[in-house]
């Protein structure tokens, strides 16, 4: 991960990203200090006491794990083109992956121990993509690839990641993309279906699918069971989206569904 125009400029870009709230040093006091306590949120991905374990790993004489300060997550805000330009200027291989006419990565994951950078984002049909920044080659970050080189790539990347932050963020983005794709391909929104179910059926017991302004969305007629099944499916997609965003927001509270969805179907 050689910085071509000098460490001072790279450090300035990282400082700017940190000031903008777009950079997280995962294994740091700063990151854990803003997490909830277990009592406040027992289901949270991280909690405020999590750094105690990291400090123990760093100091235990038999531990070879050195998490502190090695893992940086960067959110690439689509509205901050100048910052993206500066990132590319300090690491030119990213020029082929950022603002190149394709979908930008949503996140850069930097491992300072191994000098690896993962580019992670959603592309066509909100499908997950993961690339190695140096080579531009895809990385199977969540599967069990047959290729030993890819398996070793992720093993190296995550060796000092005891809380599985890398996998958690990548998997959450994948799950969010799947749920958004399913949600966006239904014929109505959750609120439309809820509104439709509140109407009276016709004399044969069938319902129209209408939006919240009472405009018909299709010419089809639905049984109450069919509308209820659609409603439950939409609720499930929405829950899956919320669960995934909850993980992403542990790192970047500013990330929202609308920013991460490509809408490219």
Residue 73, pLDDT score: 98
pLDDT value of residue 147:
62
pLDDT at 149: 65
> Residue 244's pLDDT is what?
98
Residue 1 has a pLDDT of 47
Stated pTM of the model? 0.92
* Average pLDDT in the chain: 93
Q: What is the per-residue pLDDT across 54-75, written as a single tens digit (0 to 9) for each?
A: 999 999 988 899 999 999 999 9
pLDDT on residue 101: 85
Domain boundaries, the chain: 7-163
Could you please report the per-residue DSSP string of the chain? ---TT-HHHHHHHHHHHHHTT-EEESSSHHHHHTSPPTTT-TT-SS-TTHHHHHHHHHH-TT-----TT-EEEEE--TT-HHHHHHHHHHSGGGGGTSSSSSPPPSEEEEETTTTEEEEEEE-GGG-EEEEETTT--B---SS--S-HHHHHHHHHHHTT-TT-HHHHHHHHHHHHHHHHHHHHTSSS-HHHHHHHHTSPP-TTS-EEEE-TTS-EEEEEEE-HHHHHHHHHHHHHHHHHHHHHHHHHHHH-TT--HHHH-----
């Amino acid at each position: 991960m050689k910085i071509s125009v000098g460490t001072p400029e790279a450090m300035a870009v990282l400082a700017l990203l940190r000031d903008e709230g777009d950079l997280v040093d995962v294994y740091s006091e700063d990151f854990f200090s803003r997490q909830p306590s277990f009592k406040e949120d027992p289901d949270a991905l991280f909690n405020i006491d999590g750094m105690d374990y990291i400090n123990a790993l760093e100091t235990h004489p038999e531990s070879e794990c050195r998490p502190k300060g090695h893992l940086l997550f960067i959110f690439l805000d689509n509205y901050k083109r100048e910052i993206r330009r500066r990132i590319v200027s300090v690491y030119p291989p990213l020029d082929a992956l950022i603002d190149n006419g394709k979908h930008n990565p949503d996140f850069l994951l930097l491992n300072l121990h191994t000098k690896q950078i993962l580019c992670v984002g959603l592309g066509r049909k909100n499908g997950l993509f993961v690339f190695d920044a140096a080579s531009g080659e895809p990385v199977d970050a969540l599967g069990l690839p047959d290729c030993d080189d890819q398996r070793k790539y992720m093993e190296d990347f995550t060796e000092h990641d005891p809380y599985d932050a890398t996998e958690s963020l990548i998997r959450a983005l994948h799950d969010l993309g799947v749920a958004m794709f399913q949600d966006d391909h239904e014929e109505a929104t959750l609120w439309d279906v809820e509104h439709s179910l509140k109407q009276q059926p016709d004399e044969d017991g069938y319902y129209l699918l209408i939006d919240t302004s009472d405009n018909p969305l299709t010419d089809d007629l639905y049984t109450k069971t069919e509308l209820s099944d659609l409603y439950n499916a939409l609720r499930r997609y929405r829950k899956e989206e919320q669960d995934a965003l909850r993980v992403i927001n542990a790192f970047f509270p500013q990330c929202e569904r609308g920013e991460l969805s490509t809408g490219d179907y």
